[in-house]
Structure 1
């Protein structure tokens, strides 16, 4: 890996994201169709410096605002939703280090990130009672080091990572994160992801068999949730940005298709409208879709600003406001992603359903990604907060 650029500020981060998104958009449909994993594109992402933009200034990073990071993800997702999903966990686990890492841990890992190293994830498990039923064990040895044992699923980013953060329970049953090198003995990453959407995320299985972990690579993640926290809000906001990007990308594809490839409906021609783009019924529908995308973007921006405000003054109240704002953005973005990606075919007509065009990737990505966690519970927490002033719970999914 060549040396990574060190991005200086928010403006440079956005400029780089704009340039990369244009580059990644060109072959997005082909990568999806062939399930060509984006190794080259991820090397470009690392070299660009974007993966280090949340490193604190104290350690040499740009420490960009949450609003800027959200815009970066939306731009990348509008180009390629699979590719944009891969670094989501990277930023989440950089955030874990910011919150609970020792100075020495921050100095080491932030240095790695500034050099373009990627963090993956080994968090979710299958077969448990629920998503928080983590059974991977971090067992302490007599010399103070640890070993990891367990099986993880949906491990987005692990296949491409230099370091894999592993969520596990220690002997005291509390949750910790162990940062494990990708080539650690006993660690195996299996490329067995076969989702209908998000095809190139390689969100497969990680197997851990007596994986050695030095004590200095373990972070006490459970402490994150013992006071006001933004861990869940930031993680969910990036998911919302991906959904918003899918909606935006699908709308842009629909506009291009109708302008350049669609024939007008014969009744429209009879009424005097010469092209599909002049059809008043299509104009009406595009207006409705544009409003939905704009509303999503507005809520996304509001949520990002709420997170930034809470980061500057973190209290129970500011954390609750941020979580609720993010929940509202996430629910709206999920609806927009699925709805606009489906409407792409409605407005574009039969030809748009040809497999060779790859336009269905937007809907498949939206339908797959929005299953990450149920929006219905977010609506519940919003309602409880508005009606009864009940603050949302502290966990990583809100």
Structure 2
């Protein structure tokens, strides 16, 4: 396939704004019918947005983290499932930027500029914890590998050209193997049945004796041996999706109360929008949304500042700023999506309107990486000056 090549940050935001308007129109029906967004993902790839973090020396726009966060917030406000599909894509582009050889960068960045998509095969069910990775890359005498394992919650894999697989190789160290979606031994199963984020197709990937050339494997463990922004960027995009859900739910509530809600009889008002109790609640909800968006922008700028001058201190500042944004955006998404019904009244609960998708998406998506641990890291940093740990979830 061919894809448009986006030139700069301003164009990236403009393209995302246009696509969000387009995707918003069919979001409720796609969710209600669990109709996977294949055409929409094709449009996303063809637009060039999936290549906006390719470095300028390889022909990309190399947009800022602030721009990328805004792109995800816009997409999340239109369709939270669709916005989540490329989240891992950008995380694994970062692995290539940081750990790829010159030849690997040339190859994969050309793939991205042509519109190719990364999925993910990262998490595993039934293990002790999220970092207990049991998928294995077994070295062969010729320097290549054979890959075996089962992955779960593989968002984007069903739509991908390449599936980055997190696996352990020599000395139990983490590597990422970039495997073609149609490689022998790769099976992608659409068995995701979450109550929310229903069309992310976050199903299972089975890897049975998959052959992997040596030049398709990157040493991801090296990412965490020095100051890094891998986790901060990945979490920033999750926070942006949550902020998008919160803003969209507030907009939906505003439109509903203005046009469909009846005033409560005790108030004596002509319209529901004149009720001072509702006005108060909308003010509170708007504060939640604005705080989430403000912290998101601040966090993105901290990531950009750290990228320009990466040290242990700048990386810690970025991770803490992103943690704060994620906590606020997650709380806002759940609260505002639930309050949509509180302020709109009984009619808003009709299943045919599918307004509950905002809460289902918020509740499901915010289960990524518990915010209680982010609050812990923030407290330790503020009180004791303890830098957050180096891992991909913070």
Please indicate the TM-score interval, normalised by the length of the shorter structure: over 0.9
Asked if residue 312 in structure 1 is aligned to residue 311 in structure 2, the reply is: no
Asked if residue 291 in structure 1 is aligned to residue 287 in structure 2, the reply is: yes
Which runs of no fewer than 5 residues in structure 2 stay unpaired? none
Deviation at 1:316, TM superposition (A): 0.4
What corresponds to 1:388 in structure 2?
Answer: 384
Asked if residue 144 in structure 1 is aligned to residue 143 in structure 2, the reply is: yes
Asked if residue 18 in structure 1 is aligned to residue 17 in structure 2, the reply is: yes
What corresponds to 2:74 in structure 1?
Answer: 75
5 Å matches for 1:1-398? 1=1, 3-268=2-267, 270=268, 273-398=269-394
Task: Tell me the secondary structure at the aligned position of residue 172 of structure 2.
Answer: coil
* Range with bigger deviation, 255-264 or 190-199: 255-264
Task: Tell me the secondary structure at the aligned position of residue 199 of structure 2.
Answer: helix
TM-score if structure 2 supplies the norm length? 0.99
Deviation at 1:203, TM superposition (A): 0.2
Deviations 1:223-269 (A, max 9, x none): 0000000000000000000000000010011011111111111112x
Deviation at 1:277, TM superposition (A): 1.0
Task: Tell me the secondary structure at the aligned position of residue 7 of structure 1.
Answer: coil
Deviation at 1:171, TM superposition (A): 2.6
Q: What is the aligned-residue RMSD (CA, Å)?
A: 0.5
Deviation at 1:332, TM superposition (A): 0.6
Deviations 1:191-241 (A, max 9, x none): 000000000000000000000000000000000000000000000000000
Deviation at 1:278, TM superposition (A): 1.1
Alpha-carbon distance in 2 for matches of 1:40, 1:260 = 32
Task: Tell me the secondary structure at the aligned position of residue 138 of structure 2.
Answer: strand
Structure 1 runs (4+) deviating above 2 angstroms are: none
TM-score if structure 1 supplies the norm length? 0.98
Deviation at 1:280, TM superposition (A): 1.1
Tell me the number of residue pairs that the alignment of Structure 1 and Structure 2 aligns: 394
Alpha-carbon distance in 1 for matches of 2:94, 2:351 = 40
Deviations 1:113-138 (A, max 9, x none): 10111000000001111110000000
Deviation at 1:373, TM superposition (A): 1.1
Which runs of no fewer than 5 residues in structure 1 stay unpaired? none
Alpha-carbon distance in 2 for matches of 1:357, 1:347 = 16
Deviation at 1:6, TM superposition (A): 0.3
Alpha-carbon distance in 1 for matches of 2:253, 2:361 = 16
Deviation at 1:279, TM superposition (A): 1.1
